[in-house]
Structure 1
Amino acid sequence: MSEVVHETAAAGAIVCDDGLRRPPWAVSNLLLREYYDSEWGMPVRDERGLFERISLEAFQSGLSWLIVLQKRDALRKAFRNFEPDVVAQFKSNDVERLLSDTEIIRNRAKIDATINNALVTIKLREDGGLSEFIWSFKPTSTPAPRTIADIPTSSDESVALSKALRKRGFKFVGPTTMFALMEAAGLVDTHLLDSHRRGSSGVWAT
């Protein structure tokens, strides 16, 4: 979601019609606002949830996060709620089914990566599982941005996570994509300091 988060670099939180302060990307679209208010930045610690997050971040690559949100229900249906054990069993006929589904993001490389990543997720259970693996890269401190320009697009930890996931065999897990995952899943808190959501995850002190 990095291109959405950083689209208005000099801006701080904006007071919305309900009196709450939100970043510019969560102001003008109701779907983005709802996502910001209820999901973004909240801890995701279960395997299925993190696999879905990795998959959605991969599908977002080169697109806007709004497109992904608009198609998320269809993607969940098409990928059987992103259950790794189910997705790992997808065969060539499933790929063709997905490529013909006009409700989702039809990109063969991203579809293939999602199936591949499901297989790797299952393999990772031998070493503690996806959640333990990803959360082991939680940094010791989190950004304290006053404006969008203060929010980084990657970090030492997202670079390390990207390298580690790639070594395991994951695809579409670059450092910027993994920083976006860390933001969305609560490993870092990049809510603006004066946003009404700052500190809401409970992972980081306000």
Structure 2
Amino acid sequence: MEQNGVQDYSKLFGTQVHDANTAFEFLMVAVFQPGMSWKVAASKLPVFKRLFANFDYHKIATFDEPEIESIESDAEMIQNDRKIQAVFQNAKAAVNLEPEFKDLADYFWSFKPADSEAIDRTALGTTVAKDMKKRGFTFVGPTTMGLLLTGIGILPRPHRD
């Protein structure tokens, strides 16, 4: 029986993530989330894990057309070819971050502000999204990147009153 992706994502959300593949997992949710709730995207984490080499972006970057077609035709996969293609493009872009950065997580952590409590989440999300787009990433908007930075613990979770 597959794990519940929503529970796994919720439990991990806001913890400091320094593992590159886990950072890519958060990036995948960010790619698939627009146009649906985060719960729908996160609920597919077990499917993503199965189809996308346990989030190993080095392996994903080497997938060829038969593997891509298999993923696109999987009945449990979110059927959005543009977002699926974005995963492959983002995997290649993540590999290309090296050797400038140790890995994808190191890249994200390079944006950690000195005072993360006073930071404007939207402004930082915009900065990260622009940098990522310059580096070949796609489906990385300011809002989802701000959320990703919170999800992997770079920015604090918003306070709830």
The TM-score, its normalising length taken from structure 1, stands at 0.69
In structure 1, how many angstroms separate the alpha carbons of the residues matched to 2:5 and 2:105? 27
Give the secondary-structure state (helix, strand or coil) at the position aligned to 2:82: helix
Give the secondary-structure state (helix, strand or coil) at the position aligned to 2:96: helix
Task: Give the equivalent residue in structure 2 for 1:23.
Answer: none
Q: Pick the aligned partner of 1:158 from 94, 110, 125.
A: 125
Q: 1:132 is matched by which residue type in structure 2?
A: D
Task: Give the equivalent residue in structure 2 for 1:55.
Answer: 28
In structure 2, how many angstroms separate the alpha carbons of the residues matched to 1:47 and 1:124? 12
C-alpha displacement at 1:42, in angstroms?
A: 0.4
Asked if the contact 2:58–2:95 (Cα under 8 Å) also holds between the matched residues in 1, the reply is yes
Task: Give the equivalent residue in structure 2 for 1:135.
Answer: 109
Q: 2:122 is matched by which residue type in structure 1?
A: S
C-alpha displacement at 1:60, in angstroms?
A: 1.2
5+ residue gaps, structure 2: none
2:140 pairs with 1:167: no
Asked if the contact 1:98–1:106 (Cα under 8 Å) also holds between the matched residues in 2, the reply is no
Residues 99, 32 of structure 1: alpha-carbon distance in 2 compared, 3 angstrom cutoff? closer
- Aligned 1:28-39 pairs, distance under 5 A: 35-36=9-10, 38-39=11-12
Task: Give the equivalent residue in structure 2 for 1:8.
Answer: none
Q: Pick the aligned partner of 1:64 from 34, 37, 48.
A: 37
In structure 2, how many angstroms separate the alpha carbons of the residues matched to 1:91 and 1:35? 28
C-alpha displacement at 1:86, in angstroms?
A: 1.2
Task: Give the equivalent residue in structure 1 for 2:66.
Answer: 93
Asked if the contact 2:6–2:43 (Cα under 8 Å) also holds between the matched residues in 1, the reply is no
C-alpha displacement at 1:53, in angstroms?
A: 1.1
The alignment yields a C-alpha RMSD, in angstroms, of 2.2
C-alpha displacement at 1:84, in angstroms?
A: 1.1
Task: Give a deviation string over 1:46-87, Cα, whole Å, max 9, x none.
Answer: 211111211121011211111122211011101111111210
Task: Give the equivalent residue in structure 2 for 1:106.
Answer: 79
C-alpha displacement at 1:113, in angstroms?
A: 0.8
Q: Pick the structure with greater CA Rg.
A: 1
Residues 160, 97 of structure 1: alpha-carbon distance in 2 compared, 3 angstrom cutoff? same
In structure 2, how many angstroms separate the alpha carbons of the residues matched to 1:77 and 1:32? 16
Task: Give the equivalent residue in structure 2 for 1:43.
Answer: 16
Task: Give a deviation string over 1:19-54, Cα, whole Å, max 9, x none.
Answer: xxxxxxxxxxx9756743x21100111211111211
C-alpha displacement at 1:101, in angstroms?
A: 0.9
Which structure has more helix as a fraction of its residues? Answer: 2
In structure 2, how many angstroms separate the alpha carbons of the residues matched to 1:39 and 1:179? 16
C-alpha displacement at 1:115, in angstroms?
A: 0.6
